[in-house]
Chains A and B, each alone.
Chain A
């Protein structure tokens, strides 16, 4: 059932509404759903208007649930568009305000329009037993399917994240925590929220979408929200040591020609891609891997400035834990 969780009036003949679709097990009525004690899973995406990989996940998850409705034993809330104006105008943040919605949480019911929306979103999702906050990197970088976890929430989240069929769990250090994010706002209130990063901005990659949908079913099964068959999820590489992640930054501006793809294993000295100057026809720099490892992030957008992130490599051995 499609429900409006929060809305605001826009100046010219338009209402901005944030909507969800609530899927319920057979025989459970909406009025009773949250008091029955059955698990509730929320699928959230579209906080950044240019990240679209989650659109496919929202559709495909529902398509498969509807095919086997009788196997649904929990509540599934689908929120495909937390930033409707952004998605509709190819804008990462909230248009006009030019604000990143994922830096406005938990919001405030008596703040600006953007604060009110953020607060309405939190109120709707809080209390879920598990939340997937699906991101798609940005237009610059492609990511392998991964879940990012703040070390402060490690113990609560890593056990369930292991069942989600992603390639990589990256446990971040607390020093990089952004307290204004959606995931932090919910995790700090005790609502388990997994940040998924996968694919690239402005595109849908069906294969990784299917991989995550398989993983969501595995997590649902683990929590008692799904009784149907699921795959055996892949065991992700778990990295908890910040020294295991190597960042590649461009030492010069140029046009990037990618030679490796996200997920490729690399050896020390391998060329990940080349920075070239199309005006003079010269090679400016070979972007090489300084270590053996897994290339889990790769530059996608070709126009590069000095310092731009070109890739991230997880040193081999990171998977030993």
Chain B
């Protein structure tokens, strides 16, 4: 294992911001894994730290075959250390700044400094979080950025689902979009949580990455082969949006298989305690995402369902 400073930004009254990288193996750049870019991505930081530990063991036991693996656990220690989601001063999101600009604003410079070191990896994995509070069925996600997308790579992680995401305008400044422009096969890996640690889900993610690296001939791994991933287009997901705001009381959990007409949960008036809306499943499907805050707005997705295949 080799440790290096990928990017450093001097601080005025704080310690310098250091983006540290840990590399494993020899030879050509093979795969880069990026962990927490936001200050609330504690699970993503944890997964990355477990991956560093795992790869160090793999390397010391001689199971790395060819190619260099780089892991960057934390792009944004400043925000992690004060539990603030975005950049401490201007509240910008580093993952909306790629490919970055080395003469630009602070987070543009951080993005540029990091991206310069990782743009030419053939494979890129981002340990991603979702913008809404909620839990997911673990999955990999590939952005359809208008470039050739090979979903077979995403399937090699052996996660239950591969989601094909249709790009939206803001996606063009994300790490994954820009990785793809540079010809990198970029995959986002979602575990169940963001602000809290789910160890089981984290270990599943670490195994998935090791499995992928094995499929690419970067290391040898003889563990569990993983799932035969089902590919789903995010357009085909069914979103359940309550008409009423209030307490959100769920009767199911992510991963549950539900029948059409099944009672998924309810919205409760936060002042009177009356049930003001019942949420039912319009299809036979799998609960893929569930809102995790006790309160919800109206017209906001509290569940996303994957319809069962015919």
Q: Taking beta carbons and an 8 Å cutoff, which residues of A are in contact with B?
A: 10-17, 19, 46, 80-81, 84-85, 87-91, 95-96
Contacts and interface: CB of A to CB of B under 8 A. Distances in A.
A201 to B, nearest CB: 15
B13 interface: yes
A85 B14 contact: yes
A14 B14 contact: yes
Contacts of B80: 11-12
CB-CB nearest 3 A-B residue pairs = A89-B88, A95-B82, A84-B13
Contact of A84 (B14, B77, B83, B84): B14
A80 B82 contact: no
B77 A13 contact: yes
B262 interface: no
Given A13-B18, A14-B78, A88 B83 contact: no
A10 B76 CA distance: 13
Contacts of A11: 80-81
Given A12-B77, A14-B77, A96 B15 contact: no
A14 B79 CA distance: 11
B77 A90 contact: no
Nearest to B15: A14
Contact of A90 (B13, B20, B89): B89
B103 interface: no
A156 B82 CA distance: 39
Contacts of B11: 88
Nearest to A84: B13
A96 B45 contact: no
Contacts of B82: 85, 89, 91, 95-96
12 contacts: A11-B81, A12-B81, A13-B18, A13-B77, A17-B15, A81-B12, A84-B13, A85-B82, A88-B78, A95-B82, A96-B81, A96-B82
B8 to A, nearest CB: 11
Contact of A12 (B13, B45, B84): B45
Contact of A95 (B18, B77, B84): B84
B74 interface: yes
Interface residues of B, number: 19
Contact of A89 (B17, B74, B84): B84
Contacts of B78: 14, 88
A46 B74 CA distance: 28
B89 A96 contact: no
A96 B81 CA distance: 8
Contacts of A90: 88-89
A283 B181 CA distance: 56
Contact of B13 (A80, A91, A95, A96): A80
A127 B20 CA distance: 42
A15 B78 CA distance: 11
A55 B74 CA distance: 31
Interface in B180-204: none
A13 B249 CA distance: 39
Interface string B1-29: 00000000001111101101000000000
B13 A88 contact: yes
Given A11-B81, A13-B18, A80-B13, 19 more contacts: A10-B81, A11-B80, A12-B81, A14-B81, A15-B15, A81-B12, A81-B13, A87-B12, A87-B13, A88-B12, A88-B14, A88-B89, A89-B82, A89-B88, A89-B89, A90-B88, A90-B89, A95-B83, A96-B81
A87 B13 CA distance: 8
A87 B83 CA distance: 15
A80 B12 CA distance: 11
Contacts of B18: 13-14
A235 B12 CA distance: 37
Nearest to A94: B82
B20 to A, nearest CB: 6
A320 B84 CA distance: 51
Nearest to A15: B15
Contacts of B81: 10-12, 14, 85, 96
B187 to A, nearest CB: 24
Contacts of A95: 82-84, 88
Nearest to B77: A12
Nearest to B19: A13
A33 B80 CA distance: 40
Interface string B194-225: 00000000000000000000000000000000
A80 B14 CA distance: 12
Interface string B245-286: 000000000000000000000000000000000000000000
Nearest to B16: A14
A240 B81 CA distance: 44
A219 B89 CA distance: 36
Contacts of B88: 88-90, 95
Interface in B73-99: 74, 77-78, 80-84, 88-89
Contacts of A14: 14-15, 17-18, 77-78, 81
